[in-house]
Amino acid sequence: MTPYFSICVPQYNRTSFLIEACRSLSMQTFKDFELCISDDCSNDNKEEALLSFLKASGMRFVYKKQEKNVRYDVNLRTSLSMASGRYSFLLGNDDALATPTVLEEIYAEIQKNPSAGVVITNYESFSTGVPLRRIRQSGLLGSGPAVAAKHFRNFSFVSGVLLLTSRAQAHATSRWDGSEMYQMFIGCRMIAEGLPLLGIDKVAIREGIKISNEDVDSYRSRPKLDPCPIEERTIPLNLFGRVTVDAIEPFVSGGERERLVGDILSQFLIFTYSYWIFEYRRIQSWKYAVGICLGMRPRNIFKGIRIGFWLRTRLLLCYSVITLFCLVAPGKVFFALYPKLYSIAKSFAKGR
């Protein structure tokens, strides 16, 4: 029997955390789901423990281990290709469902809005319980390229995003492998083509499972470079704007293209780029952050996007002002104000 939800998990070397995530799935009151795990050649030697847990849990599951390391985007696309449910529920391998009734409540919201093609929910920090609300009011938020351009930043965190499986599979592509934002492309492409976006103002995810004596490998845990030369440092973040523009472009009329491209790139610079300058100042150093700024200079983030002269000039000015401000402003003040700034950033799209 075809399940209603397919829980799609791209997994790599976080098996202990994934087992804990699976525990949160096994406790769900809504049982009409399957678990689709694509493992990217994990070498933490815990595959047997995971499979033993899954078999004992009684949950329906599909498990595939890649033949070679393919990295995040291919791994997520593989998990989506394995799905047979009506909706694919994307879940990070170190994130848990917040309560035992999450799937039941999401199912009820979709029943109220059966036309939904893409669904976005909220999440909270596992360690602090602080909620991060990317959605502020439940209901349909519309469809089309302009809606995708307003909400593309909400796809940067993968967990708690749901996609109509048939359309997500139809749009499968390797074009943005390496961007680490496959869900951003697929979600925006589906909204842009006319599938309604449903926002659910519910904390569905506890982000960042904690396990005693085990750490998740991430950019935060890497040692500081010392000495740290000032040199251009390119990271996948450079591609965010290009991924989103490519997702919506086939559905954009000529008259609105320049406005929406400007909208996307302005949001990227003001909200996303600025945050990561402060973040790399905090976890690495000022010199490292300068390297990130050089890597995200306009010629890199605009590459491959047709931009008119006046829009390019405005965006260059925006980049320059933000770069200068974020390199000299006190980082402690920024992070003290971050919860409020996050709230303002997420309400930006709602009010436009």
pLDDT at 90 over 90: yes
User: 12 is written with which tokens?
Assistant: 């790599």
Round to whole Å and give the CA distance between 26 and 59: 7
Crossing angle of the two packed helices 254-267 and 309-328, in degrees rounded to 10: 10
- Would you call 214 helix, strand, or coil by DSSP? strand
The DSSP result for 133-159, as a single string, is: -S--S-EE---SHHHHHHHGGGGSS-T
**Region for residue 213 given its phi and psi (left: phi exceeds 0; alpha: psi -120 to 50; beta: otherwise):** left
- Strand pairing partners for 124? 131, 206
Round to whole Å and give the CA distance between 24 and 306: 45
Show the domains of the chain with their CATH numbers.
5-207 (3.90.550.10), 219-350 (no CATH)
| 183-217 burial: b if 16+ Cβ within 10 Å, else e | bbbbbbbbbbbebbbbbbebbbbbbbbeeeeeebe
Residue 222 confidence class, pLDDT cut points 50, 70, 90: confident
The torsion defined by the Cα of 278, 279, 285 and 291, in degrees rounded to 10, comes to: -80
**E strand segments, 66-166:** 87-90, 96-97, 118-125, 131-132, 139-140, 161-164
pLDDT, position 57: 96
Measured in whole angstroms, the distance separating CA 39 from the mean position of its chain's CA atoms is 19
- Strand pairing partners for 64? 38
Round to whole Å and give the CA distance between 19 and 22: 5
DSSP 66: -
pLDDT, position 254: 83
Percentage of residues in the chain having pLDDT higher than 90: 88
Per residue in 274-316, pLDDT (tens digit) is 999 999 999 999 999 999 999 999 999 999 999 999 999 999 9
pLDDT, position 218: 74
Outline where 154-303 has alpha helix (H): 165-170, 182-192, 240-248, 254-267, 274-283, 286-295, 298-301
User: 113 is written with which tokens?
Assistant: 């809005």
Place of tokens 């002269």: 309
Residue 212 confidence class, pLDDT cut points 50, 70, 90: confident
Q: Are 154 and 134 in contact (CB under 8 A)?
A: yes
- What pTM did the predictor assign? 0.93
pLDDT at 351 over 60: no
Round to whole Å and give the CA distance between 260 and 257: 5
Between the alpha carbon of residue 268 and those of residues 109, 177, 253, the distances in Å are: 30, 20, 22
Per residue in 238-286, pLDDT (tens digit) is 999 999 999 999 999 888 999 999 999 999 999 999 999 999 999 999 9
Per residue in 162-171, pLDDT (tens digit) is 999 999 999 9
Q: Are 95 and 207 in contact (CB under 8 A)?
A: yes
